[in-house]
Amino acid sequence: MSLISVNNLTFYYDGSYDNIFEDVSFQIDTNWKLGFIGRNGRGKTTFLNLLMGKYEYKGSISASVHFDYFPYEVNDKSRAVIDVLEDIYPEYEFWKVCREVSLLEVNDDIWYRPFDTLSNGEQTKVMLAVLFSRDNNFLLIDEPTNHLDMEAREVVKSYLNKKSGFILVSHDRSFLDGCIDHVLSINRANIDVVSGNFSSWWENKKRQDDFELAENAKLKKEIKRLSDAAMQASKWADDVEATKIGKRSEKYEKSIGTRSYVGEKSRRMQQRRKNLERRMNREIEEKSALLKNIEEAESIKLVPLKHHKQPLVNISGMNLYYGDKLVCRDVNLQIRSGQCIALIGRNGCGKSTLIKKIIGENIKSEGTIELASGLIISYVSQDTSFLSGELKQYIAENGLDETLFMQFLRKMDFARTQFDKKLEELSAGQKKKVLLARSLCTQAHLYVWDEPLNYIDIFSRMQIEELINQYRPTMIMVEHDKTFIESINADKVHL
C-alpha cells in the first residue's frame, strides 16, 4: 500500500479566467479501485493529466508509483495491431498482453489486422490489455466505456472488478457500481474521497442534500422569526425611550426615579435586540454553509412536433454497406409516432450506418426506406471532433435561437465563463452537450441520436431521462447505458 498525496493544488489553463483547482488537498491509496466522478468540465481529465506531469501547477502531488494513462494516443491507426503495441509501449511483453486480451474476451486473430479495422470495443480492450500488462503502475483510465456496446461493458466491468490500483473516470452508473470500491468526486464546492461504489455515494449525497435543504428551510424560517423579533424589540426600545423625554414623557417626568427606570427598560430592550441580531447572524452564517454542493439540474423542456402519418419511417428488407462491406442484412424497421427505439447490437454491427441512412446520408444499400412527407429530423452525431471556433459562430451557422440554446446549456451546468471558450477547448462532455442543446432547440418530428450520452455526466443523464419520460418525443437512438435505456423504457430493437 502507498499513498498519493495532493496538497494545496491550484491549477488554471493559461489564458483562462477560471481556476480548475483552487487549493485542494486529498489523499488516495494506490490499492483502491477508485471511481472518479464529477460533472462535465470540472477537471477530471485535467487532474489525470496533472498526475501524468503534463502541466505545471502550484502545490504538490507526491506519489511513489508511476502513472499510465488510458486512452493511449495511436498515431497511425492503419498499422497492424502488433506494431501499434510497439508504438504505445515499446517494452511490452507479448505473453502478458495476450493473457489480458483473453481475459477481455477478444479474439486472438487480431494481431496482424490493421488497428483501425478493429471495432471501437476491440480497440478499447487492446489498450486496456496493454495498460494492465504493465506491472506496478497506477492506472488512470479516462472514460473507457464510451463507444463500448452493452455486452463489452459487462466484460470490461467484471475485468476491472478483478483488478485494483486504478482511477476510473466514468459516467455509467451500472458500470461504476460493478467495479469500484472508492469514489473521488469533484463537487460544486469541494473534492471528496469516500469508500463505497456509485450507488452508496449517490444515496449518501441524496441524504446530505435532503438534510441541507431541510436545514436550510428551517434556518430561513428561524432567521425571519429572529429578524421580526429584533425589529419589534427595537421598536419597543424606541417607544420606551420616547416616554423618557419629549411630549409623551410629560406624565412620567415627575420624578428622577421614574426616568432612570424607563432608561433601564429601554437599555434592556436594546440589549435584547442586539442578542437577537447576533443569533440571527449566527444562523445566517450557518445557512450560508449549506447547499453549496447541490448540483443544479433543472428540468429541460422539449416541444416535439406531431406528424399525422404513421409510420414516420418504414424500412424493409434493407442491406447496408460500410464502403463495400456488407454490415447489416435484411433490416425491417418501422418508427411510429411517440415511439422511443433503442438500437441494440455489438460494436460494428451497423447501428450508426442505419442511423445515417435514416437521416439521408449517402450510404450504399439495397431494399427500401420510406419517410413520411415533410418529416423534420433532428440529429446528434456520435462524433464531436468537427466542433471548432466560437460558440456564437456555431449558433449563427446552425440558425439557432441564441437565448434558448444558451438556456439549455446553462441548465446542463455550463458556467457562463464557458461561453467565451473556443469549442475545441471544451471538455469532451461539454462538446456533446453542445450537440444535444442544438438538437433540443430544434422542433422536430423525429429525434435521431447516436450515442448521445457518451461523455455526458450523470446529473445530465438524469435530466435527459426525465425529459424523455415527460415529453415522449419520437426517437431512435443508439445508446449503451443500461440504466438509461431501462429508465426511459425504450423499445429495444436488436440489429
123 is a contact residue toward Mg ion (CB under 5 A): no
365 is a contact residue toward Mg ion (CB under 5 A): no
| Pick 45 or 123: Cβ nearer Mg ion | 45
CB of 226 to ligand ATP, least distance (A): 40
| Pick 47 or 115: Cβ nearer ligand ATP | 47
Q: Which residue is nearest to Mg ion (CB)?
A: 45
Stretches 101-109, 272-280, 394-402, 424-432: which one binds Mg ion (CB under 5 A)?
424-432
DSSP 447-463: EEEESTTTT--HHHHHH
Angle, to 10 degrees, between the axis of helix 428-441 and the axis of helix 458-471? 20
CB of 57 to ligand ATP, least distance (A): 13
CB of 305 to ligand ATP, least distance (A): 31
CA atoms of 51 and 72, how far apart (whole Å): 15
Cell of residue 427, nine digits: 471538455
Eight-class DSSP state of 165: S
CB of 434 to ligand ATP, least distance (A): 11
Kindly list the residues in this chain that would bind ligand ATP in the complex (CB under 6 A): 13, 16, 20, 38, 40-46, 418, 421, 425-430, 455, 457
Cell of residue 335, nine digits: 418508427
381 is a contact residue toward Mg ion (CB under 5 A): no
Q: Which residue has the cell 473507457?
A: 144
Cell of residue 315, nine digits: 424500412
| Pick 38 or 350: Cβ nearer ligand ATP | 38
CB 183 within 8 A of CB 194: yes
CA atoms of 456 and 349, how far apart (whole Å): 24
339 is a contact residue toward Mg ion (CB under 5 A): no
| Pick 184 or 335: Cβ nearer ligand ATP | 184
Stretches 176-184, 294-302, 365-373, 421-429: which one binds Mg ion (CB under 5 A)?
421-429
Eight-class DSSP state of 418: G
CB 166 within 8 A of CB 141: yes
Residue 339 gets the label, from left (phi > 0), alpha (psi -120 to 50) or beta, of beta
CB of 171 to ligand ATP, least distance (A): 7
CB of 20 to ligand ATP, least distance (A): 5
454 is a contact residue toward Mg ion (CB under 5 A): no
Q: How many residues touch Mg ion (CB under 5 A)?
A: 3
3-state secondary structure of 108: coil
Which does residue 170 touch among Mg ion, ligand ATP, none (CB within 5 to 8 A, set by kind)? none
Cell of residue 312, nine digits: 414516420
| Pick 174 or 353: Cβ nearer ligand ATP | 174
45 is a contact residue toward Mg ion (CB under 5 A): yes
3-state secondary structure of 48: helix
CB of 473 to ligand ATP, least distance (A): 25
CB 265 within 8 A of CB 215: no
CB of 42 to Mg ion, least distance (A): 9
CA atoms of 131 and 84, how far apart (whole Å): 13
CA atoms of 490 and 343, how far apart (whole Å): 9
E strand intervals along 80-208: 137-142, 166-169, 182-186, 191-195
Which does residue 84 touch among ligand ATP, Mg ion, none (CB within 5 to 8 A, set by kind)? none
Which does residue 430 touch among ligand ATP, Mg ion, none (CB within 5 to 8 A, set by kind)? ligand ATP
146 is a contact residue toward Mg ion (CB under 5 A): no
Residue 252's identity, in one-letter code, is Y
CB of 18 to ligand ATP, least distance (A): 7
| Pick 94 or 419: Cβ nearer ligand ATP | 419
412 φ, ψ (degrees, to nearest 5): -95, 25
Which does residue 320 touch among ligand ATP, Mg ion, none (CB within 5 to 8 A, set by kind)? none
Return residues touching Mg ion (CB under 5 A): 44-45, 428
